[in-house]
Amino acid sequence: MKLLIRGAGVTGLTLAHELASRGADVTVVDIKRQIAGNASWQAGGMLAPWCELESAEDAVLTLGRGAADWWDAALPGHVMRNGTLVVAPARDVAELDRFGRRTSGYRAIDAEAIAALEPDLEGSFTRALFFADEAHLDPRRALLRLQQKLVGMGVRFEFGYGAVHQPSCDVEADCTGIAGRQPELRGVRGEMLILKTSDVSLARPVRLLHPRVPVYIVPRSGNLFMVGATMIESDAAGPISARSVLELLNAAYALHPAFGEAELVETGTGIRPAFTDNLPRVEREGNTIRINGLYRHGFLLAPAMARQAAVMILGTEMEKERADEAHH
């Protein structure tokens, strides 16, 4: 059976992995020239199903709690299981209680425990929430490595405008994110920046709560820190606004003043594809499957959605083959 996947973001690549590891003949096409520049490329890479409960349905936890294991099995060595630390500046400490009421899977910790986890934050915060079971990965490395692995598994990749016109296949999977044509789909703009400094070291993502501008910082190798992310109801993909740069940098500086001296090496914008309920969907229409609406949770939810889609695709095909055999 020939399968065509449109879109080489995290959704398309995880689906390719699920299908290819079940022996399917898979081609992935992307309208861009390479794996970069899509929403997945701009992501923080947090695998944080408990923290996400702050603003998400329980389904995000149910679907996302196995994600770190999936990534670990698919790409050994890429997942860092150091948990998430959630802090708030002294004047916003009530935000910690609010965050705690809306989430689960954490331990409330004091200044000493904060310093033990993150020595560079010693003396900066008196209380924090520690989500020990959460994980993170570097999304760009993970996407590139996954593509490389898929090529090794026999998956074909075609990039660029020309690649979109592919010969017919048995089943097509639309994983085109915000370019998908589902009627309810909307874009939620997320702006981010990347700082470089050797004066701060963090072992895990740190979320800094604030009533208006909550921000997180995700450490990456090479003294890089991804600072994200805005949530703007818009599918405008233009450059980051000055105000967003100010807010993200202010938050980074509030977390550690040494970020004030960091190099601002990149700014970026990604459009999160979301449905009205902010939950992902796998839909089937004839020979086309659509996986979309991964919203804030692409790396967290793509494995579960890809598994669902793979069962839907291969399960039906296997039934068809059995019916054909019976017929002959």
User: Where on the chain is the footprint of ligand FAD (CB under 6 A)?
Assistant: 6-12, 29-32, 38-40, 42-46, 164, 175-177, 179, 190, 192, 228-229, 270, 272-273, 294-300
Q: Alpha-carbon distance 155 to 13, whole Å?
A: 10
- The CA-atom distances, in angstroms, between 44 and each of 195, 259, 300, 303 are 13, 18, 11, 17
CB of 111 to ligand FAD, least distance (A): 27
Nearest to 254 by CA among 222, 220, 214: 214
Q: What angle do CA 95, 96, 102 make, to 5 degrees?
A: 90
CB of 228 to ligand FAD, least distance (A): 5
CB of 283 to ligand FAD, least distance (A): 13
Whose Cβ is closer to ligand FAD: residue 48's or residue 314's? 48
Q: Alpha-carbon distance 207 to 205, whole Å?
A: 7
Q: What angle do CA 190, 191, 192 make, to 5 degrees?
A: 125
CB of 129 to ligand FAD, least distance (A): 17
Whose Cβ is closer to ligand FAD: residue 127's or residue 248's? 248
- The CA-atom distances, in angstroms, between 324 and each of 112, 114, 168, 315 are 67, 62, 21, 14
Q: Which residue is nearest to ligand FAD (CB)?
A: 9
CB of 323 to ligand FAD, least distance (A): 32
* Structure token pair of residue 8: 């080489």
Categorise residue 311: left if φ over 0, alpha if ψ from -120 to 50, beta otherwise. alpha
Whose Cβ is closer to ligand FAD: residue 105's or residue 273's? 273
Whose Cβ is closer to ligand FAD: residue 127's or residue 147's? 147
Whose Cβ is closer to ligand FAD: residue 111's or residue 159's? 159
Whose Cβ is closer to ligand FAD: residue 73's or residue 116's? 73
Q: What angle do CA 92, 97, 101 make, to 5 degrees?
A: 145
CB of 186 to ligand FAD, least distance (A): 13
Whose Cβ is closer to ligand FAD: residue 31's or residue 93's? 31
Residue with tokens 């331990």: 107
CB of 162 to ligand FAD, least distance (A): 11
Do 203 and 219 meet the contact criterion of CB atoms below 8 Å apart? yes
Q: Alpha-carbon distance 124 to 219, whole Å?
A: 18
